[in-house]
Chain A
């Protein structure tokens, strides 16, 4: 049964790495914000498997709620596409 926990941990970490990589090398800033929110969901799965429910509630409300809204406000007041 401990193998099940470890396999879920492995899948969530690979998903987190994938979303973080796509967020950093993306030219359209709104898509990068979407990938950053996906990375936060993968990280909160990892927090649940590591048995930390307090940190999970704080982290998901902050990262998917507040950071996404704040960054979308910032992008709407500045430019959208990144220059070369």
Chain B
């Protein structure tokens, strides 16, 4: 009566419990109770200036300070790698403009309950994602987290209504790719501007202001979060728009190429 998969799973479960009890009794790998010295340095000097450190990252959130200030070059090239991956994907789904306007399938969408719920939820998701991204230097969050949350809102509208509603209301392929490219080039400008005025590359504190109108901004961390939010959200939207083109267009093109050759 018990199928083979459940039996194998129960064997694995009991072996895990047995081996972990044996490891705890023998005390082979005790978990640590103190932080490593490098982590302690980052925790100590990420907001206050004391001892003989005179310049800090001015943000009470240690993880965002490490990601965009102490190890900023890692994150810069990670964003570029993501840009290249989306660009490679969009190349595969390229189609001529004349073919695209030829096939428009009449699609009614889901039922009325789903449509009403989607109207409320899409606006809520945009507001929450903007809050996660722009408060990245004060609370956990940041640019990348808000960007992927922003990509869910057009996906919901695409599932409940159809793709053509999105295009009629102004979110075309060209606009998404344009916003993404402009945000990425502005990230590179924010990186290069301290170097042109005599400081190091990607330097935060003396060049960018730490506080504006008595609100804590942490220098360039705020601008990085905002621009990364826009770049990643629009990148995913472009990918989903291209993925939902119906498959007939590509199959016709491949058949026509094969009949020309053979």
Contacts and interface: CB of A to CB of B under 8 A. Distances in A.
B221 interface: no
A11 interface: no
A66 B151 CA distance: 8
Contacts of A70: 243
Nearest to B250: A77
B144 A58 contact: yes
A21 B12 CA distance: 10
A53 B16 CA distance: 28
A65 B148 contact: yes
A54 interface: yes
Interface size class on chain A is: 10 to 19
Contact of B13 (A17, A22, A25, A66): A17
A14 B13 contact: yes
Q: State the main secondary structure of chain A at its contact with B.
A: helix
Given A21-B12, A69-B240, A77-B247, A54 B148 contact: no
B140 interface: yes
Contacts of B9: 18, 21
Contacts of B152: 61, 65
A62 B144 CA distance: 10
B148 A61 contact: yes
Contacts of B148: 58, 61-62, 65-66
B231 interface: no
B5 interface: yes
Contact of A66 (B63, B236, B247): B236
Nearest to B147: A61
Contacts of A69: 155, 240
Contacts of A17: 12-13, 16
Nearest to B62: A54
Among all A-B residue pairs, the 5 with the closest Cβ atoms: A53-B140, A61-B148, A57-B145, A73-B243, A54-B140
Given A21-B5, A57-B141, 11 more contacts: A17-B13, A21-B12, A57-B149, A58-B145, A58-B148, A61-B145, A61-B152, A65-B151, A65-B155, A69-B240, A73-B243
